[in-house]
Amino acid sequence: MIVSFKLNGELVEVDVPPNMTLLDVLRRKLGILSVKRGCERGECGACTVLINGDPVCSCLVLAPQAEGKEIITLEYLSKNGEIHPIQEAFIEAGAIQCGFCTPGFILTAYALLKRNPNPTIDEIKKALEGNLCRCTGYIKIIEAIQLAAKKLQRYSR
């Protein structure tokens, strides 16, 4: 079956079996490798993408459910070879560790900061509930999101 959706600003059409997950479409059919295969149960957040602006575990979405939607992956944030202020903040705060979970955290932070440009620590923690990191105690990730909020406020002026 043909499924069409907007991926990182570009309309794509892919021929997929109806039971293929969005995770597999992105990785195997479209070569988007920032979307990681983790638990495959929607518990770790490594496969997080934004669907119409909301963080979603792509391992839980069947390809036909993406029809007509706008899908954003980490690749969208780096334009013209420059990294996004959120990515800068994660690097500066030392919040990347092994990096496996980082794309999911960055996309979740992106969605949060779009909705709430100045979140409290509790709001950040709540937003991150769907993302797991085995390398950190989350302190550096929270600090990175606070730093990203400041960077984005300066960036938007």
pLDDT tens profile 70-84: 999 999 998 788 999
In this prediction, residue 137 carries a pLDDT of 80
β partners of residue 12: 5
49 CB contacts (<8 Å, ≥6 apart)? 22, 26, 35, 55, 56, 58, 71, 72, 73, 107
The domain boundary, picked from 74, 93, 114, lies at 74
Q: pLDDT value at position 157?
A: 47
Domain boundary among 74, 95, 121: 74
Q: Can you tell me whether residue 4 is helix, strand or coil?
A: strand
pLDDT attached to residue 21? 98
Looking at 74, 109, 132, the residue that finishes a domain is: 74
* DSSP state at residue 39: -
Give the C-alpha separation, 86 to 138, whole Å.
16
- Calpha distance 86→101 (Å, rounded): 15
What span, in angstroms and rounded, lies between the C-alpha atoms of 93 and 150? 13
| Mean pLDDT in residue range 97-122 | 97
What percent of the chain has a predicted confidence (pLDDT) above 90?
90
d(CA 63, CA 23): 8
The crossing angle, in degrees rounded to 10, of helices 102-115 and 139-155 is: 50
Domain residues for the domain of 117 are 85-155
Specify whether 59 is located in the same domain as 119.
no
State how many domains the chain has.
2
Q: What pLDDT does 155 receive?
A: 75
